[in-house]
Amino acid sequence: MTYFMDYLPHEVIRSVQLGLYSELLHSSTMWVCSTCATCATRCPNGIDVTGFMDFLKNKILSGNIQPKQKEVAAFHQAFLDEIKRHGRINEFVMMAHFSRKRGGLWKRLMDGELKADMKLGLEMFRKGRLKPIPKKAAGAAEVKDMFKRRR
């Protein structure tokens, strides 16, 4: 993963110490991060680097900053929106939401990507792996409340 990052995880922390927030917020690092938590688990200083990556993502999405990896940012936002609404992920609704957020619908239609996605979706639906009607999780209200308190 680090191969695709502008800043390596330890450089992210160093940048914060040096007050270089702006450079970080315009970098690709947090969008490349897969939240695997290896860095946080192995950090000799107990720094929650993974949590900090999430903090950077949310900072960008709540501000007027253009994310460097727009598609990953759109996916992240679609994921969070779905959790906020239903307390869990409904893949069908989330992917529809992501598809709308990422834009480029016409281009994807013309180059066949949309058709391939729909074919895959239909196949998953046939196998019972895709539920078009979302169900709320038992703790959906608490999850919504957590999102409210976070703001």
The site for ligand SF4 (CB under 6 A) is made up of 1, 9, 33-39, 49-50, 53
Work out how close the CB of 11 gets to ligand SF4 at its nearest, in angstroms, rounded to a whole number.
Answer: 11
Give whichever of 52 and 98 is closer to ligand SF4, judged by the CB atom: 52
Angle of the 70-86 helix axis to the 140-150 helix axis, nearest 10: 130
Give whichever of 2 and 22 is closer to ligand SF4, judged by the CB atom: 2
Q: Is 135 left (phi over 0), alpha (psi -120 to 50) or beta?
A: beta
109-132 in b/e form (b: 16+ CB < 10 A) is eeeeebeeeeeebeeeeeeeebee
Work out how close the CB of 71 gets to ligand SF4 at its nearest, in angstroms, rounded to a whole number.
Answer: 17
Work out how close the CB of 3 gets to ligand SF4 at its nearest, in angstroms, rounded to a whole number.
Answer: 11
Give whichever of 49 and 73 is closer to ligand SF4, judged by the CB atom: 49
Give whichever of 36 and 116 is closer to ligand SF4, judged by the CB atom: 36
Q: C-alpha 3: how far from its chain's center?
A: 19
Work out how close the CB of 1 gets to ligand SF4 at its nearest, in angstroms, rounded to a whole number.
Answer: 4
Work out how close the CB of 60 gets to ligand SF4 at its nearest, in angstroms, rounded to a whole number.
Answer: 16
Tokens, residue 26: 């315009």
Return the sign of the alpha-carbon dihedral for residues 45, 63, 65, 76. positive
Please tell me the distance from the alpha carbon of residue 125 to that of residue 127, in angstroms, as a whole number: 5
Give whichever of 22 and 35 is closer to ligand SF4, judged by the CB atom: 35
